[in-house]
Amino acid sequence: MNDLELNGITKRYGDTTVLADINLTAKDKEFIVVVGPSGCGKSTLLKSIAGLESIDSGQILIGGRDVTREEPGDRDIAMVFQSYALYPHMTVAENMGFGLRMAGRPKAEIQKAVKRAAEILQINDYLAMRPRQLSGGQRQRVAIGRAITRSPSVFLFDEPLSNLDAALRTQMRVEIGLLYRRLEATMVYVTHDQVEAMTMATRIVLMNHGVVEQIGTPVELYTNPRNRFVAGFLGSPRMNFISTRAVEVADGSAVVDSEGLARIRLDIHNEARVAVGDEVVIGLRPESIRLDGQGDHQLSARIGLIEQLGREAIAYLDAAPVRAIESENGLGHLTAQTDGRITLRRDDAVSIGFDAADVYLFDAEGKTLTSARTADIRSEPEMVDA
């Protein structure tokens, strides 16, 4: 079993705590994606697992074995870096066999492992070339190949695709997904790209300022974000947030009301702490706002801008006096995601609609108040059985 267990990992640089009590168990053959904004501690966490950074407290177990004090080379881990980190003077084959050569493995075994990795990654034709003769995508494949040849218990990836152009990134994302199914290894993959997180992970670890905000399947995090940070981080375009006030609180429900917005009754969960008069924040995903005025609640709005993407269109709506806070455009526009066959244009007046069941509610600290909802979509890849 190649479980990876992190118990209470804490890491400080001087007075700054960059990892604060990180707890995580990646089950054997899981694909964990660690995602979060720049500087939140993702690379530091990965380097700590690899043994390239020391930790101040906590424990790292691989397959039940405590490796906290072990050298990187003894941890049975392979790491793929954003920068590829290939040796320029070595051929592709030599780069890929490097780890095994350092470990003193026999030549025949190294050749076999390199051949297998090259076949999996379809880089057989480049084996005699040097890294500088390869494109970015090919180099990245070599870097992944170097990790594969070592057949480690755990693969660590640190933003391996961020230097590639959009088309190649999509292609490599699919390739890594297929590779994962083929290798059946435990993987921890760091990215700041939420699309990679949503599409590749069996479970997402969403980090912010050195702490874990939430761990769960992509669909769990998307459907039931624990707080406003998680809700805002996953989903593009991001969730609309609107300040409002609780005007009625009863067992299991709350009514919110603010200027321009109808009174909305929302189901809240048992532990939710909210009182009449509290400032709260409504969250509404762009796909929950309808431009045909259908839904439990209606609002008048004016189209500020339409972004046509072909299959879909993004509409930025001026719904004053209702204003979105932390809006991507900074104008307070509400963002709606709609079918590409839209006939509306800039400055058109529309009646927009939404259902109360699609509304999230957060308290002043950002904690989710609305009760959990069931997802009508499912995660891919699915969680492996432990």
State in angstroms the smallest separation of the CB of 75 from ligand ATP.
Answer: 19
Cβ-based nearer residue to ligand ATP, 18 or 249: 18
Question: Helix, strand, coil proportions of the chain in percent (round to 5)?
Answer: 25, 35, 40
Cβ-based nearer residue to ligand ATP, 44 or 149: 44
The residue among 360, 363, 382, 364 whose CA lies nearest residue 372 is 360
Retrieve residue 22's tokens: 């990180």
Q: How many residues does the chain have?
A: 386
DSSP conformation letters of 228-271: HHHHHHSSSSPPEEEEEEEEEEETTEEEEEETTEEEEEEEB-TT
Per CB under 6 A, which region of 42-50, 88-96, 264-272, 299-307 contacts ligand ATP?
42-50
- For Mg ion, the binding residues in 14-53 under the rule CB under 5 A are 43
**Region for 330 from its dihedrals, namely left if φ exceeds 0, alpha if ψ lies in -120 to 50, beta otherwise:** left
Contact call for residue 41 and ligand ATP (CB under 6 A): yes
Cβ-based nearer residue to ligand ATP, 48 or 379: 48
Contact call for residue 13 and ligand ATP (CB under 6 A): yes
Residue 109 host element (H or E): helix 107-121
Instruction: Identify the residue among 2, 43, 140, 288 touching ligand ATP (CB under 6 A).
Output: 43
State in angstroms the smallest separation of the CB of 326 from ligand ATP.
Answer: 20
Contact call for residue 192 and ligand ATP (CB under 6 A): yes
Distance in angstroms (rounded) separating the CA atoms of residues 13 and 304: 46
Contact call for residue 42 and ligand ATP (CB under 6 A): yes
Of Mg ion, ligand ATP, none, which one sits near residue 197, judging by CB under 5 to 8 A according to partner kind?
A: none
β-bridge mates for residue 300, sequence order:
351
* Amino acid (1-letter code) at residue 188: V
Distances (CA, A) of 84 to 11, 177, 290: 25, 19, 45
Strands 31-35 and 203-208: parallel
State in angstroms the smallest separation of the CB of 213 from ligand ATP.
Answer: 13
Contact call for residue 18 and ligand ATP (CB under 6 A): yes
State in angstroms the smallest separation of the CB of 53 from ligand ATP.
Answer: 8
Contact positions vs ligand ATP (CB under 6 A)? 13, 18, 36, 38-44, 192
Contact positions vs Mg ion (CB under 5 A)? 43
